[in-house]
C-alpha cells in the first residue's frame, strides 16, 4: 500500500461525480507529492476544479519516505511548513495537514504547519512497525520472496497513541483537528471528541465492517448525547482537555482507590486472584467457593484485576 496506482485522469472525474451526487457532504482530496513547490502547485491546481471542499496534505505516509514523499516531509518541521506554504499560495479551499506519529515532537510540526497557513490538522497516519516472523519459514512477514520491510500499523491497537496525539495537538497547536487511528465504535468517537477532535476519519473499521458501520457510530453517539441531556456534539468537543496533564507531578495522589468485586456477576475464573498474586499486591483471596475478596488495606488501586476480568462491570474501582 503506497501511493495510489490510479492516475489523476481517473481520480478527477471521480471527485467531480462524487461532489455532484453529494453536494451537501464534505469532500476532501488527500494529496501527496515530493518536497517541490512546482509539483505541489501543479497538483493542487489540477485537483481544485474537480470540486473538493478541502485539501488534505498527506505528509505522513510511512511507506513513501524513501521517495522523499509522505513521512519524509512530515518528520521535518521546516519541510512540513514549506509544503503548507506552497499549497496555500494556490489553494482556494481550506488546507488540512496530515501528520505522522513517527516523530518525537509532533507539536513543533503542527505549529510549523499552522504558521505557514494550515487551516486544520489531521492525525494520525499509521505507526511504523514490523508485523512479525513466520516461525515455519523463518521469514519476516509479510513475505515478498522471503524478504520484508517495516510498514504502517493501524486499527484499534493504535487508539491510545492517537488519543495522546489528539490531546497534544489540541492543547499545543489549537487548530481544528480531524482525528484518525483506532476509531471503531461510537464510544471511540466520543472519546476523540472529548480530547479535542472536531471531525474523525476511519479506514480500517470500514475495510473490515463496511460503510454500514457509520450508521452505528452516528446512532450510538446520538443516543449517548440524548442520555446525557447534551444538545450538540459541539458541546463535548475538548471537554476532557482541562483534566489531562503533561506529567504525573500535576496529579493529586492524596486519595485512594481500591477494587470492588460484584460477586453476583463473578464466574469464579480466578484471573483476578492470579494477577494480583503474581503482578500486584496479593490483595485478593479466594474462599472455598472460589469467590474473590479484596483486602482493602493491601489493595494499591492499580486496577490490574479490572483488566483481566472477562465479565463486563464485575470489578470496579471505588474511592475510599
pLDDT in tens, 79-135: 999 999 999 999 999 999 999 999 999 999 999 999 999 999 999 999 999 999 999
Three-class SS state of 225: helix
Where residue 68 falls among pLDDT bands split at 50, 70, 90? Answer: confident
pLDDT in tens, 295-311: 999 999 999 999 999 99
Cite the active site residues: 61
User: Span 275-304, mean pLDDT?
Assistant: 97
User: Of 187, 219, 183, 177, whose CA–CA distance to 204 is shortest?
Assistant: 183
Question: CA dist 23 to 15, 19, 190, Å?
Answer: 11, 5, 27
Residue 264, Cβ density class (10 Å: 0-12 exposed, 13-18 middle, ≥19 buried): exposed
Where along the chain do its domains lie?
8-132+143-243, 252-319
Looking at domain 8-132+143-243, which of 3.20.20.70, 3.40.720.10, 3.30.465.10, 3.40.50.2300 is its CATH number?
3.20.20.70
Supply the pLDDT for residue 66. Answer: 62
Residue 242, Cβ density class (10 Å: 0-12 exposed, 13-18 middle, ≥19 buried): exposed
CA angle 16, 81, 47 (to 5 degrees): 10
Q: Which three cell numbers stand for residue 195?
A: 480530547
Alpha helices in 146-194 (DSSP H): 159-172, 186-194
DSSP 20: H
How many Å apart are CA 181 and CA 30, to the nearest integer? 16
Confirm if 90 and 107 have CB atoms less than 8 A apart. no
CATH topology (fold) of 252-319: Alpha-Beta Plaits (3.30.70)
Confirm if 58 and 82 have CB atoms less than 8 A apart. no
Question: CA dist 65 to 3, 70, 74, Å?
Answer: 11, 6, 9
User: Taking all residues of the chain, what is their mean pLDDT, rounded to a whole number?
Assistant: 95
Contacts of 163 (CB under 8 A, 6+ apart): 191, 192, 195
Amino acid at each position: 500500500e503506497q501511493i495510489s496506482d490510479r492516475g489523476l485522469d481517473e481520480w478527477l472525474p471521480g471527485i467531480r461525480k462524487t461532489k455532484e451526487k453529494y453536494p451537501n457532504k464534505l469532500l476532501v482530496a488527500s494529496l501527496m507529492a515530493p518536497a517541490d513547490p512546482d509539483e505541489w502547485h501543479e497538483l493542487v491546481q489540477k485537483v481544485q476544479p474537480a470540486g473538493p471542499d478541502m485539501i488534505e496534505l498527506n505528509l505522513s505516509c510511512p511507506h513513501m519516505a524513501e521517495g522523499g514523499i509522505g513521512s519524509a516531509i512530515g518528520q521535518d518541521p521546516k519541510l512540513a511548513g514549506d509544503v503548507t506554504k506552497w499549497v496555500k499560495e494556490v489553494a482556494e479551499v481550506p488546507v488540512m495537514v496530515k501528520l505522522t506519529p513517527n516523530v518525537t515532537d509532533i507539536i513543533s510540526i503542527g505549529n510549523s504547519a499552522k504558521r505557514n497557513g494550515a487551516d486544520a490538522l489531521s492525525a494520525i497516519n499509521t505507526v511504523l512497525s514490523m508485523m512479525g516472523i513466520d516461525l515455519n519459514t523463518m521469514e519476516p512477514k509479510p513475505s515478498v520472496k522471503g524478504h520484508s520491510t517495516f510498514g504502517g500499523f493501524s486499527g484499534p491497537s493504535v487508539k491510545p497513541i492517537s488519543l495522546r496525539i489528539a490531546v497534544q495537538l489540541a492543547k499545543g497547536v489549537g487548530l481544528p483537528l480531524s482525528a484518525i487511528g483506532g476509531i471503531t465504535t461510537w464510544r471511540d468517537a466520543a472519546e476523540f471528541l472529548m480530547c479535542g477532535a472536531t471531525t474523525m476519519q476511519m479506514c480500517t473499521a470500514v475495510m473490515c465492517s463496511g460503510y454500514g458501520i457509520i450508521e452505528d457510530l452516528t446512532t450510538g453517539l446520538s443516543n449517548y448525547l440524548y442520555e446525557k441531556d447534551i444538545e450538540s456534539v459541539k458541546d463535548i468537543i475538548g471537554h476532557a482537555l482541562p483534566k489531562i496533564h503533561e506529567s504525573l507531578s500535576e496529579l493529586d495522589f492524596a486519595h485512594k482507590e481500591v477494587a470492588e468485586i460484584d460477586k453476583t456477576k463473578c464466574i469464579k475464573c480466578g484471573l483476578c486472584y492470579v494477577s494480583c498474586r503474581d503482578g500486584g499486591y496479593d490483595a485478593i483471596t479466594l474462599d472455598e467457593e472460589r469467590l474473590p475478596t479484596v483486602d482493602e488495606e493491601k489493595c494499591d488501586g492499580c486496577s490490574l484485576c479490572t483488566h483481566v476480568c472477562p465479565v463486563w462491570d464485575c470489578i470496579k474501582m471505588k474511592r475510599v
